[in-house]
Amino acid sequence: MKLNELRSRTTNGFKVNNLDIELELNELNTDKLYSIDGIEVSQIIKNEEITSKVGLTYSKYLELTITVDKSYSNPVLVNYNFSNNDYLVSKVIINYKKNSSCDFIFNYKSLDTNKHFNYLVEEINTEEYSNGSITYINNLNDLSTNIMSFNDTVLEESTITHNLIDINGSIRIYNSDLNSVGFNSKNYFNNIYIGKSNDLIDINYDMKNIGKSSINNLKVEGCLKDNSKKTFRGIIDFVEGCTKSTGIENENCVLLSDTCIAKSIPILLCHEDDVVGAHGESTGRISEDKLFYLMSRGLSRKESEKLIILSNFTSIINEIKDETVKEEILNTIEKRV
């Protein structure tokens, strides 16, 4: 099947226009619900079609709906623990009302060594003067598949921040359709990924500046080792009418072996004057000068590499609003690296 198709296609020779992959697809096979405290939610099983820009369609899924109608001082923790070959297909809808704010942390974790599957379709809707962050932590086991589609519409004077901490899993496929629609609307997307063994990571992010003075900012930090493979596609699109807007995307990928493969294609599309757009891409080994500096102060080569990678990740991890979760993520990343 062809998944994660690039909206603005490039030459087929680069082999980045889509992901060709065979997946074992089953229906939702669990009646387990998300564990969530601190906010009122609705969770129901729906027997109707769900699809996303990833390219997968299902006829049955769990729908989680959250309405944020005030400001919450503490982040809301949402957990889903996989066990016994769980196969989860879910849609998460978060509606931010006017002048509301709330931060969410979704933690997907494997409790055993069985093969698990997670397919998430997200929908974020904001009214004016609202803001929030949504953090997703993929901490499934080595055999599992994690597929996520992020979608939002951000209105006037509102801000949405996504943080994706992609730690584990054999197949990981991510897609975003993020729209800064209103005046001074802001979309920030931060992503950490770690690839090892024969992991496959496929990323396709699409961020549109639609409103005047809108901001889109995409920041991706990753590392690959062993025989892992990663494809990154990032689009910043300045739509006609978005004057005074800013769009920035940066990806930094550290290679820790000679056999891993990294492909990246950052794209800027511009249909408007008087905007600021920038993209940057860095892929390669850690600088020998940096390693020498640290090793000359008593650290081993592996310790030096680990310290540099963790420092790359720190700015994104610091976006997470819960100290306990941050500490857990740092400890897990240190083991993975």
User: Buried b vs exposed e over 75-112: b needs ≥16 C-beta within 10 Å?
Assistant: bbbbebebeeebbbbbbbbbbbeeebbbbbbbbbbbee
Domain ranges of the chain: 2-286
Residue 13 has pLDDT above 90, yes or no: no
**pLDDT of 30:** 85
Q: What is the mean pLDDT of residues 171-196?
A: 98
Q: What is the mean pLDDT of residues 10-14?
A: 81
Residues 6+ apart with CB under 8 A from 323: none
Q: What is the mean pLDDT of residues 291-296?
A: 89
124: nearest Cα among 137, 135, 140 = 135
**pLDDT of 170:** 97
Helix (H) or strand (E) segment spanning residue 58: strand 57-58
Q: What is the mean pLDDT of residues 22-40?
A: 91
d(Cα 45, Cα 62) in Å, to the nearest integer? Answer: 4
**Helix, coil or strand: residue 249:** strand
Residue 318 has pLDDT above 90, yes or no: yes
Residue 157 has pLDDT above 90, yes or no: yes
Query: DSSP labels for 129-142?
Result: T-EEEEEEEEE--T
Residue 109 has pLDDT above 80, yes or no: yes
Residue 132 has pLDDT above 90, yes or no: yes
**pLDDT of 8:** 85
**pLDDT of 152:** 97
Q: What is the mean pLDDT of residues 131-148?
A: 97
| 176 and 206 Cβ atoms separated by less than 8 Å | yes
What are the pLDDT digits (tens) for 73-100? 999 999 999 999 999 999 999 999 999 9
Q: How many other CB atoms are found less than 10 A from the CB of residue 11?
A: 8
**pLDDT of 288:** 87
pTM of the predicted protein model? 0.95
Q: How confident is the model at residue 146 (pLDDT cuts 50, 70, 90)?
A: very high
